[in-house]
Chains A and B, each alone.
Chain A
Amino acid sequence: EAAVTQSPRNKVAVTGGKVTLSCNQTNNHNNMYWYRQDTGHGLRLIHYSYGAGSTEKGDIPDGYKASRPSQENFSLILELATPSQTSVYFCASGRQGLFSNERLFFGHGTKLSVL
């Protein structure tokens, strides 16, 4: 079973502070994703990556940056955290198929509260 590990599991930040959420996968998947989950919105795509050195904007990238320094690691960075970024963040990884992406493997989520 593919393993995706997120850290920290819980984080309390102050408005205007910098927050870094980390994600590590050990299955050599090409693709990695960051989603946030809020009541009534399901999972919304923030940033994703096709491999080391690449990052792509998702549907709600404003206020977030992403970094993929290696195949295994994908970080989400909030340079100036705001209360509206309070949410549960999920990282996922998946293999790139020939014509489509394969199933995603999810981490257990990071609960972020910005006060």
Chain B
Amino acid sequence: QQKVQQSPESLTVSEGAMASLNCTFSDGTSNNFRWYRQHSAKGLEVLVSIFSDGEKEEGRFTAHLNRANLHVSLHIREPQPSDSAVYLCAVSIPNNAPRFGAGTKLSVKP
């Protein structure tokens, strides 16, 4: 069974500083990785999807994938207070349901 773990559990950064979130997964056949954001127990919105090693940028959000190290990260450039939310990592093996990590709670201080 796929295990997805996120770190840190919570993170506080100042507005404008880079925020970096980490996600490790257990199944090396995983081929589908997404970062979602959730504001206050509401629905989730997808931020960035990545399918091969390297990086993928969507606006201020950049995902880095290293499948050999079973690691995917999210970097948020110039975070704003409105970026304060829970960030969830989702990982899928081929043609299977996504499994999620427990999330990182990000707080951005003005």
Answer yes or no: A59 CB below 8 A from chain B CBs. yes
In this complex, the interface size class of chain A, counting residues with CB under 8 Å from chain B, is: 20 to 34
Give the dominant DSSP class at A's interface.
strand
Separation of A48 and B100 alpha carbons in the complex (Å) = 14
Q: A42 touching B97 by the CB < 8 A rule?
A: no
Chain B contact residues (Cβ within 8 angstroms of A): what range?
20 to 34
Q: Which of B38-85 contact A (CB under 8 A)?
A: 41-44, 46, 49, 51
List B contacts of A74 (CB < 8 A): none
Residues of A within 8 A of B102 (CB): 40-42
A43 touching B88, Cβ below 8 Å: yes
Partner of A42, one of B32, B42, B96, B100: B100
Interface residues of A (CB under 8 A from B): 4, 31, 33, 35, 37, 40-45, 48, 56, 58-59, 88, 90, 92, 96, 99-101, 103-104, 106-109, 111
Pairs A–B under 8 Å by Cβ, sample size 12: A33-B97, A37-B41, A42-B4, A42-B88, A45-B99, A48-B97, A100-B32, A100-B51, A101-B97, A103-B46, A104-B44, A108-B42
